[in-house]
Amino acid sequence: MSTRRDDPAPGSGPQAPSPSSMPARAFGAPRHAAVPRMETVRVTAPDLARRAAMERTRARLVFAAGFFTLLFLAVIGKLADATIFRPLHPREPPLALVVPDPATPAAPGEHIRRAMITDRNKEILAISLPTAELYADPREMIDTADAAHKLKQAVPRLDEAQMRERLASARQFVYLARRLSPNEEMAINTLGIPGVYFQTSERRRYPLGRVAAQVLGGVDVDEHGVAGVERFFDDRLRQGADPLRLSLDVRVQAVVRDELLAAMTEFQAIGACGIVMDVRTGEVLAMVSLPDYDANEFGDAPPEDRFNRAVTGMYEPGSTFKLQTAAMALDSGAAHLWDQFDARDDIKIGRFTITDFQGKHRWLYLPEVLAYSSNLGAAHIALTVGGERQRAWLGEMGMFRRIGIELPEAGLPIFPPVANWKEVATMTIGFGHGIAVSPLHVVRATAAVANGGLVLRPTLLAEPSEDGAPRDGTRVMQQATSDTMRRLMRLVVTDGYGKPADVPGYFVGGKTGTAEKVGAHGYKKHTNVSAFISVFPMNAPRYAVYMMLDEPHGNASTGGYSTAGAVSAPAAGRVIARIAPMLGLFPQTDDAAAIQASLAIALQPGHGTPAHGTAAATRPETDRGETGRGEAVHALPVHVEPRDQRHEASTDPSSRTSDVVAVPPKDGFAAPPKDGFAAPPKDGFAVAAQ
């Protein structure tokens, strides 16, 4: 088939002439010399079929290209979304502790992670983090000096000279560095030094720094406990993966440290101590000793900072011991609530003198002895009880042995031997001198006085249950005696030297204690240990709070005094106000009047509060506090109830160590002290106090 390209297609309209239909002429020839030009194209059937196939192939290629273009655009969009717009972070596998079978010993070189230590609310106190140790085999090295130089450049904290010395040895294994960080490990690894290896290890860390540093203690480079609970529970922490849950509450710990540090700074004390304990369970919620240190720097802390005043320090408890003297007198029947004790004149023993701080210079009822913190009254009460029963009482209170808490640093009290426990020792120990115990001993004994008469072993382990149910303890006094003592402790805060510790709605009870420190040549004047022991709320005792300052100095706010009522009691009150809501105790303001009435007790019989069934005694009272004239006044009318047989037996003159208090004075004057008071003190035990 052939066709002429210049022929119009049939049925088509007029069309523009194509180039092939235009006349052709030679170059330079005139127009009239042009001749018509014709082109004949022959297209065969196979050509048409091939053209049709090519058209179909072209369409398919276009379709395929479009498909792959869309596909690549989708991939690019997905990559952009995953890497730019919404990048997906890699999921880290959860860290799991591998718990070895306790029956199967660890293989040599196998690493076992040390268990965590937490507080009662599971706040982490101590945790072991993975780290690396660097060691080398010098025999595999080409140039040990060059290796040491390169390691020094990679990790500047390393000692190049020391590494040179170690690598120069012929040993197969030498340590080069411990506790490498991941960055340091990577820097060393990139050096490619032959003979250098890494060993998996761990590093003990204490996230809260100074919190409970002396309680936690520390570990050595091999993760062995060397102090505190880290040492006491070393086997438990190394063999078990479960966290060790302590009774401490970091919130309470922080409050006690905050207030203790503020008081220590204000009164320029050289040290301080604070304790909070549950009087029903013995759990210690806070134990602070200042100065302290960052637990992460245990190895660099000076010994005085690592010293735990709460359990290691032995101090004369001072007037806080008068609670024990009063409790043992009431419980044994040696004295009754309204008995009076001579506090008119100082007691002279050799070259020493027992005096009262701001004394009343008159006969004092037993509640007044505690409220006014009379050393003279407490000495006479102790003589009424007698030295033998005093030793027995203090022994039951645990004053002659270590406290038994889970701290290896717990110290042993200092007390006179039986052979030296004469009248002098009986009197001075009655007001907290001549014996030295730890602050935790004082807290435990006071808790027994307030909780119904049970002595509990203090513990740093949290109780398995959170109901706060009382633990079993050793009964040392009757419930009735404890009830009376709670009222007397409340009296000290409402009418005595403990007033600065009172917190509305919490019915705080307690006792101040100021003791002069012993030096090389006896007691050091105006160098005190000032402590305040408190329990709250006294209508349902829950917590004991102890605050102590070591060698405080009075200032203008205290009138220059550094006594416990001036420097320690206010801090205890602030602690109670802050921690009580944390512990779920809120001020009882709605029925405050009724609660206070149930706890109220008068300083003297007939002054607003009856004797409530307790035996009473009448003695003529001589008031020389203001005038000094010693004028006799009439005895207060008091109802005297019959005494029980126990009291009659205990007050029999033949059973008393001294009858200075037992025999009523004649004509309003006290009998002179017997010769037994004039003996000088033995073995350096104190008889002078304020």
Sequence-separated (6 or more) residues with CB below 8 Å from residue 80: none
Quote the radius of gyration of the chain (alpha carbons, Å): 45
Distances (CA, A) of 387 to 37, 260, 295, 416, 501: 152, 36, 44, 12, 33
Regarding beta strands 124-136 and 117-118, do their DSSP bridges make them parallel or antiparallel, or are they unpaired? antiparallel
Structure tokens, 23: 């006349």
d(CA 391, CA 394): 5
Residues in the chain: 690
d(CA 275, CA 284): 7
Regarding beta strands 352-354 and 244-245, do their DSSP bridges make them parallel or antiparallel, or are they unpaired? unpaired
Position 307: which residue type?
F
C-alpha closest to that of 279 among 608, 666, 585:
585
Give CA 122 to chain center in angstroms: 13
Taking the alpha carbons at both ends of the chain, their separation in whole angstroms is 141
d(CA 402, CA 564): 26
Residue 581 · residue 252 · CB < 8 Å: no
Instruction: Tell the residue number behind the tokens 């205890």, with chain if given.
Output: 572
Q: What are phi and psi of 389, to 5 degrees?
A: -70, -30
- Of the residues 201, 247, 319, 482, only one is catalytic, namely 319
374 catalytic? Reply is no
- Does residue 291 have a cis peptide bond before it, meaning omega lies within 30 degrees of 0? yes
Residue 681 · residue 349 · CB < 8 Å: yes
Q: Which helix (DSSP H) or strand (DSSP E) does residue 213 occupy?
A: helix 213-216
Q: Which residues pair with 117 in a beta bridge?
A: 126, 244
The number of beta carbons lying within 10 Å of the beta carbon of residue 261 is 17
C-alpha closest to that of 383 among 675, 661, 672:
661
Sequence-separated (6 or more) residues with CB below 8 Å from residue 86: none
Q: Which helix (DSSP H) or strand (DSSP E) does residue 321 occupy?
A: none
Q: Is 528 exposed, middle or buried (0-12, 13-18, 19+ CB in 10 A)?
A: buried
Give CA 25 to chain center in angstroms: 116
d(CA 557, CA 171): 68
Structure tokens, 468: 């706060």
Strands (E) across 430-491 are located at: 454-455, 474-475
Structure tokens, 191: 């050096």
Q: Which residues are catalytic?
A: 319
